[in-house]
Amino acid sequence: MKKLKEKLRFIGFYDYTVILTYLSLSAAVLGMAQAIHGQYKTAIFYLAFAGICDAFDGRVARSKKNRTEDEKAFGIQLDSLCDVISFGVFPAMICYLLGVRGIVGSVLVAFYCICAVIRLAFFNVLEAKRQQAEGEGSGNKVYHGLPVTSMAFILPLMFWIQFLVPEMVFIALLHVLLPLVGFLFILDFPMKKPSLKQILIMICVVAVTVGAIFGFTKFRLPRQDNENNPIVEELIGEFYEDETP
C-alpha cells in the first residue's frame, strides 16, 4: 500500500482553500444542465449560489497563512478558470435560452464571453504582480472595472423588471444587458470592493429575488427548437401585418 501511494501522484494542490471555488464551478455545471432542459428558475438559483461561493473563496484562501508561492499562483489561475465558466459561459447560456438568439443574439453572447475572458486574464496578470510586490495579505481595496462575479447578482435582479414589463420587452432588455455588462468588465474604472456587511446585504437581496422568481414569475421560455431570435421574429411578423392590405 505504501508503494502504491508513492506511485500515485496528482497534479495540483488539494486543501480547504479551493473548496468554495470547486463548489462554484459545480453549481455552474449543474445550472447549465438545468437551463438546457428549460429549468431556468433552478439555473438562476445555481448562478446565485455560485456567486455566493465566489464572494467568500478569497477570504477562505487567505485564512491559510503558510501557502507556498506555487499554491498562491495555482489559486489565482484556478479561480479565474472557474469564473470563466461560472460567470462567463453560464450566464450567457441562460440569456441565450431565454431568448437572446439569432445572429444579433449570438454576437452579443460572444461579445459578453470575450469581455469576461479578457477581464479575467488581465486580472491574473495584475494579481500575480501585486502579490509579488506587496504580498498576499495586503489585498486590493478597489476593482478595476466591474468584476465578472457581479453577473451572479445582476442577472437574478434583472427578473424584477420581468414583473413590470411584457415578456418581449424583458427579452429585449436582456439583449441590452449582455453587451453593457461585458463593456463594464473591460472598462478601467475604480470600483470599491464591498465590505463583508455589504456582501451579506447583497446575498439577502438576491435570496429574496430568487424566491420571488420561484414563487411568482410567469415568464415562459421560448421553444427550445426555435433557434431564431424571438424579438426579430415578432418585429418581422408585425411588419408583415402592417403591410397586409
User: How is residue 150 annotated by DSSP?
Assistant: G
Residue 7 inside a domain? The answer is no
pTM: 0.84
Residue 181 inside a domain? The answer is yes
pLDDT band at 17 (very low <50, low <70, confident <90, very high): confident
pLDDT band at 236 (very low <50, low <70, confident <90, very high): very low
Q: Is the pLDDT of residue 214 over 80?
A: yes
Nearest CA among 197, 193, 184 for reference residue 145: 184
Residue 5 inside a domain? The answer is no
Mean local confidence (pLDDT), 171-175: 93
Q: Is the pLDDT of residue 115 over 60?
A: yes
- Spatial separation of the C-alpha atoms in residues 230 and 234, rounded to whole Å: 6
Q: What is the pLDDT of residues 29-59, one digit of tens each?
A: 999 999 988 888 999 999 999 999 999 988 8
pLDDT band at 238 (very low <50, low <70, confident <90, very high): very low
Residue holding cell 501522484? 9
Lowest mean pLDDT among 65-74, 75-84, 93-102: 65-74
Residue 80 inside a domain? The answer is yes
- Spatial separation of the C-alpha atoms in residues 51 and 49, rounded to whole Å: 5
Phi, psi of 172 (to 5 degrees): -60, -40
Q: Is the pLDDT of residue 77 over 60?
A: yes
Domain with 85, as residue range(s), is: 12-219+227-243
pLDDT band at 168 (very low <50, low <70, confident <90, very high): confident
Given a contact cutoff of 8 angstroms between Cβ atoms, the answer to whether 98 and 173 are in contact is: no
Cell reading at 44: 438562476
Q: Is the pLDDT of residue 182 over 70?
A: yes
Residue 2 inside a domain? The answer is no
Given a contact cutoff of 8 angstroms between Cβ atoms, the answer to whether 196 and 147 are in contact is: no
Q: What is the pLDDT of residue 139?
A: 56
Tally of domains in the chain: 1
Q: 46: helix, coil or strand?
A: helix
Lowest mean pLDDT among 9-18, 174-183, 233-242: 233-242
Q: What is the pLDDT of residue 43?
A: 94
- CATH assignment at residue 54: 1.20.120
Residue 4 inside a domain? The answer is no
Residue 167 inside a domain? The answer is yes
Burial 3-35 (b: 16+ CB within 10 A, else e): eeeeeeeeeebeeebbebbebbbbbbebbbebb
Percent of the chain residues past pLDDT 70, beyond the cut:
81
Given a contact cutoff of 8 angstroms between Cβ atoms, the answer to whether 217 and 175 are in contact is: no
Given a contact cutoff of 8 angstroms between Cβ atoms, the answer to whether 62 and 70 are in contact is: no
Q: Is the pLDDT of residue 173 over 50?
A: yes
Mean pLDDT of the chain: 84
